[in-house]
Structure 1
């Protein structure tokens, strides 16, 4: 079992004058893995992400970084935020500089890095997000999907150990979703831990190693292949069944998939049938 890099321990939180969002919630984020945080709108996904990244402080319980409690002093939060970066759902909440290059360089400059290091980090972050050609463009003139990639590049320039994304595919067209998933997989392969909130069950089944499902203030966490096959759990979170496990059950029932074979994550994972093979050969 991979040791957790970031954890919530018995965390309780409520906004002023409102009912508690969580009471006694615990979650481990395994290092160098991908974790999807699932739940319906209003379940508290964004609140949990802000707690994990130091934007909110729990009323009770603790947030742990590599097993040690987070300090909510200015120094402690600065240390956490250089290692754990949150990218908000709306990129316009994070972009404010005159150009893309200036926006992406803001974080490294704030760390006091030498100019040459800042330039190198910015260049690498822009290349990772495939937006190098946008470096000198005003961010406010870009499309929503491009602005989203700029916001992620700004986080990557700080070279975080954990990248936390709030609804990263919201507002993206299908091509934008595919490009982003490719980039996230490359980051994971390079050792970055990724946490992303979503209400898209199929997306979570496609790319996540681990899943945490929020339902009625309670959290259920485990392997994506196990939890996303639990239809009762998904119903309790007002989420529809995942496509892959449903198709996998049908294929096993008809002998197309052997027992114990993994569920398909995308249509490309479906086993070839004689008809399909004939079509290819013809």
Structure 2
């Protein structure tokens, strides 16, 4: 199946993409709202910064798609909601997808939809719920020609991590979950960086011919972010999906321009840092 919508996601020159994720509000965690309290302003700022895509929810997608003209970021639509990020976790955890998510994505002119595939130690029911969602979404995505991005998330044991949103960067665990995402029919995969970033070629290898975009995770300093970006691209990643490292940055337009330069024109880390430093707040 030809997924023509992806022509609006990936840069035609580099074949890569920067997707800025601003779907955090869907998960109902107060700490996730820092820096994105006013979504109208956030989306306006991102449209001006012009990454390849912005990842939004059903309730916020109109903020992007109501912007007139063709020269704006593409829409990636989040399709599912879960309560796995609390500290401490709720006694009952869940994950559900919007029943008409693919039709909504078509109506909203999205280039892809995104759904989780989570591994929580000792909680197989959340992975089962994700797999059921992915199977339902895959059937509809095939019918409508909508690319399906699967997001494998290997999370730490909640008791050891102290609760909350803690990713496990173990290479073998990430490789295993990425492989399952591919087996479930992913058109795109959005995966965490490994603790040893030099291992990332193993994640790329197991994804095979499915484009893999690397998640940003928690906030880090600019040099660390840019060095990690360059490293995963060198090992074959097709792009990046960063959220808090862009929207919580003091210079969101500057860091966006820097990341786009690394992705699309092969800028060095030092050249990208200079772009950030020379940009306006």
TM-score calculated relative to the size of structure 2: 0.41
**When you count strand as a share of all residues, which structure comes out higher?**
1
Determine which structure has greater relative contact order: mean sequence separation of CA pairs < 8 Å that are 6+ residues apart, divided by chain length. Answer: 1
TM-score calculated relative to the size of structure 1: 0.41
Is the radius of gyration larger for structure 1 or structure 2?
Answer: 1
